[in-house]
Structure formats: structure tokens, C-alpha cells
């Protein structure tokens, strides 16, 4: 299982139309497909990461700096491989985020090789909680017209598709206006459907509190990253002590240490650490184990193709997040064996590793390097 070759392929797919969230407008779905080949002939592969402008730098880091560090090491020694990669984050003159994301790409591919060598899906390798996990949609983006009606229709449609719930974009309007979007979502979805408003750090503490008070009546499963980034840990803890709605955060952290501070400070009920932004599945699993000791749930932000196995692979996994085709056309076309979602749950693949069957023709069509 010694590593012989690593390949990173940048993939880019434009969205059919721009999508507007609270603090960003998204026009492109970008990812990096990473392949780790061992001397035994096993090819571990995975695609992850949603980096746009830094995509080529991540590819360069994988080829020029990570590959020499890992060549000849055993892919079965995942922790040793991760530690061998980590020094590339210590160059104070580079954007550390790009180095962390490069590590994440390779780490995910190494884990796929491990699963394939054991002829087992990764959630079995990790001794998980079962072969299915609750599935939620990521949707509710702002529409240029008929926004409330469209929100209601979208939630009804997602429920009909079998999703357990939906993360709804808020934070770009006033708290009162966005509370109306949540009301419309509840009207469209009906009772029992999870609703998770996601302001993407769009509000001050006072604004987040006003919003929370306005939407308490709509049975909110959790509120995600409500407060501005510069004081979010203290504001989250203060908000959590004040309102009955559970709080979720962690996707903006790039290390287990950052998530530790959120937990130790009493700021969250659920951690949605992003493995593709924070060092890969190896670092994500450290966060998951730590969260379990705090009685905190864990999920993976974005990246359905890894998030399902990660959440199903730990006792405190909450759900898997699924971006819709208008937000992630790449997942919905690149993965030929997308798992079924029915009655609120996703059934995981029984194939080894991440269990991915990829469209090779599409890869060649949309590759950027």
C-alpha cells in the first residue's frame, strides 16, 4: 500500500444562473478530483473542495509539495501521511487556507484507498451507526421575484423528494423580512420538516436575537452561523444562553482547535465542520470525537460524497447535507451512483471506500488543467 503517484485534476462547472446567499453570490461549482495510486495498483480517489480563485494553487501544492512528502509512505498509515503533509501549512507567507485544502484533497483520496484495500465502505471501516443517515437539502436561495411563494413551493417539493429538511438562506434582509421567508417555508413544508435558517454570519448579535424571537414559533431545528465572523464565538455563546433554538457553526473553522474553542465556549449544539476546508476526513473525525465528549452533534458542511459516510461513521452524526442541482450540478452529473433518498434518509453505498462511480467522460470535458 505504499504511495507511488498522486494526481490532482481541477474541475469547473458554471451554474445555470447565479445564486444569492446572505453574504455571497455563487456562479461556479469548482472541485478538485484527487487520485492516489499505490504500488499495489489500488487507486484511491475523491473529489472535494469548492475553492474558485485558489484552485490552481491547491493543485500546485498537491503536485509540487505534498507528493514528494508522501511518495513511499504507506496509505494505511493515514495519520502518518497527514502529519507528513501538515508542515506545508507553516509557511507564513502563503495563504494557509490553500495549504489546508490541499491536504484535505489528498487525505480524502487516501481514505478511499484504505477502504478499497479492506474491501469495505468507509462507514463500516469506522464502525459506524448504520447504513443510512438523515438527509437534508441546501436550498432556499433568494429569488429575484415572488420570493415567498417560491420558497414555499421549493420546501414542498423537497419534502416530496424525500428530504428530512432544508437549510434556508437568510441574512441578506432585515431579521423581520427573513422571518417571513421562514414562515413561507414552514407553510410550504408543513409540520415535521426540519427547517434550518442559515444567515452565513450575516447579522450582529442584536439582529440575530430579533430574528430568533420572530421564528421560534416555526419549530426551527437549528440556526446556523447567525453572527458576524469577528466576534462569533462570544456572540454565539451569548445567543445560545438566550434563545431556545439550537445553534450550529464550525464550517468557517479550518482546524480541530478552532472547533474546540466553539465547543468549550458553549457556543454550539451542532458542529458542521467542513472536511474539504479543514484538513480532510482525518481532521473531521478528530472534531467528531471531541464533539461527542461535549454532547454535541456533528455533520459535514457540503460535499455529500464524503459527508454521508462521515456522519454515518460516528455515533453523534446528525445528517448529510445535499446541495441541489442548481447549486451543485457537478455532484448530480459526475456521480453516476448517487445514493437514494427516501423518507428523510439517505442509504449509503455498499461499495468500498467512498463508493463513488464517476463519469470519466464528464471529467475530461470539464477539467481545467
pLDDT band at residue 24 using 50, 70 and 90 as cut-offs: confident
Q: Which CATH number characterizes residue 38's domain?
A: 3.30.390.10
Are 54 and 196 in a shared domain?
A: no
Domain-located, residue 354: no
Are 180 and 310 in a shared domain?
A: yes
Are 254 and 113 in a shared domain?
A: no
192-201 pLDDT, tens digit per residue, is 999 999 999 9
Are 240 and 108 in a shared domain?
A: no
Contacts for 113 with CB less than 8 Å, ≥ 6 apart: 1, 36, 38, 42, 43, 44, 75, 353
Domain-located, residue 219: yes
Domain-located, residue 352: no
239-293 pLDDT, tens digit per residue, is 999 999 999 999 999 999 999 999 999 999 999 999 999 999 999 999 999 999 9
Q: Which CATH number characterizes residue 239's domain?
A: 3.20.20.120
pLDDT band at residue 23 using 50, 70 and 90 as cut-offs: confident
64-93 pLDDT, tens digit per residue, is 999 999 999 999 999 999 999 999 999 988
Q: Provide the pLDDT for residue 44.
A: 98
Q: What is the pTM of this model?
A: 0.96
Q: Provide the pLDDT for residue 162.
A: 98
Domain-located, residue 202: yes
Are 85 and 100 in a shared domain?
A: yes
Domain-located, residue 224: yes
Domain-located, residue 175: yes
Are 76 and 161 in a shared domain?
A: no
Are 141 and 47 in a shared domain?
A: no
312-345 pLDDT, tens digit per residue, is 999 999 999 999 999 999 999 999 999 999 999 9
pLDDT band at residue 369 using 50, 70 and 90 as cut-offs: confident
Q: Provide the pLDDT for residue 161.
A: 97
Q: Provide the pLDDT for residue 145.
A: 86
Are 134 and 219 in a shared domain?
A: yes
Number of domains present in the structure of the chain:
2
pLDDT band at residue 138 using 50, 70 and 90 as cut-offs: very high
| Average pLDDT along the chain | 97
Domain-located, residue 305: yes
Are 93 and 156 in a shared domain?
A: no
| Arithmetic mean of pLDDT, 124-147 | 95
Are 133 and 114 in a shared domain?
A: no
Domain that holds residue 309: 124-347
Are 150 and 59 in a shared domain?
A: no
Are 23 and 51 in a shared domain?
A: yes
Domain-located, residue 10: yes
Q: Provide the pLDDT for residue 245.
A: 98
Q: Provide the pLDDT for residue 22.
A: 86
Amino acid at each position: 500500500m505504499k504511495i507511488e503517484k498522486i494526481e490532482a485534476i481541477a474541475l469547473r462547472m458554471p451554474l445555470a444562473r447565479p445564486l444569492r446567499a446572505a453574504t455571497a453570490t455563487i456562479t461556479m461549482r469548482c472541485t478538485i478530483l484527487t487520485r492516489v495510486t499505490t504500488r499495489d495498483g489500488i487507486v484511491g480517489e475523491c473529489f472535494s473542495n469548492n475553492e474558485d480563485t485558489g484552485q490552481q494553487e491547491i493543485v500546485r501544492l498537491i503536485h509540487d509539495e505534498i507528493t514528494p512528502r508522501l511518495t513511499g509512505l504507506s496509505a494505511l498509515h493515514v495519520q502518518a501521511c497527514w502529519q507528513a503533509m501538515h508542515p506545508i501549512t507553516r509557511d507564513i507567507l502563503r495563504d494557509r487556507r490553500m495549504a489546508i485544502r490541499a491536504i484535505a484533497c489528498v487525505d480524502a483520496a487516501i481514505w478511499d484507498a484504505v477502504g478499497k484495500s479492506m474491501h469495505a465502505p468507509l462507514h463500516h471501516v469506522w464502525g459506524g451507526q448504520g447504513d443510512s443517515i438523515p438527509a437534508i437539502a441546501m436550498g432556499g436561495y433568494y429569488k429575484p421575484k415572488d420570493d415567498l411563494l417560491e420558497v414555499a413551493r421549493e420546501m414542498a417539493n423537497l419534502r416530496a423528494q424525500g428530504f428530512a429538511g432544508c437549510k434556508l438562506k437568510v441574512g441578506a434582509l432585515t431579521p423581520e423580512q427573513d422571518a417571513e421567508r421562514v414562515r413561507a417555508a414552514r407553510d410550504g413544508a408543513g409540520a415535521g420538516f426540519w427547517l434550518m435558517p442559515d444567515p452565513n454570519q450575516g447579522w450582529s448579535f442584536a439582529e440575530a436575537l430579533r430574528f430568533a424571537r420572530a421564528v421560534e414559533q416555526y419549530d426551527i431545528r437549528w440556526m446556523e452561523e447567525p453572527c458576524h465572523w469577528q466576534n462569533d464565538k462570544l456572540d454565539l455563546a451569548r445567543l445560545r444562553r438566550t434563545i431556545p433554538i439550537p445553534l450550529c457553526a464550525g464550517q468557517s473553522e479550518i482546524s480541530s482547535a478552532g472547533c474546540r474553542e466553539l465547543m468549550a465556549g458553549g457556543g454550539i449544539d451542532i458542529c458542521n465542520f467542513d472536511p474539504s476546508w479543514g484538513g480532510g476526513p482525518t481532521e473531521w473525525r478528530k472534531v467528531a470525537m471531541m464533539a461527542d465528549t461535549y454532547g454535541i452533534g456533528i455533520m459535514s458542511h457540503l460535499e455529500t460524497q464524503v459527508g454521508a459516510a462521515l456522519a454515518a461513521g460516528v455515533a453523534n452524526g446528525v445528517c448529510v447535507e445535499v446541495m441541489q442541482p442548481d447549486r451543485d450540478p457537478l455532484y448530480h452529473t459526475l456521480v453516476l451512483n448517487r445514493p437514494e433518498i427516501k423518507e428523510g434518509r439517505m442509504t449509503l453505498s455498499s461499495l468500498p471506500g467512498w463508493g463513488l462511480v464517476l463519469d470519466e467522460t464528464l471529467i475530461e470535458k470539464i477539467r481545467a488543467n
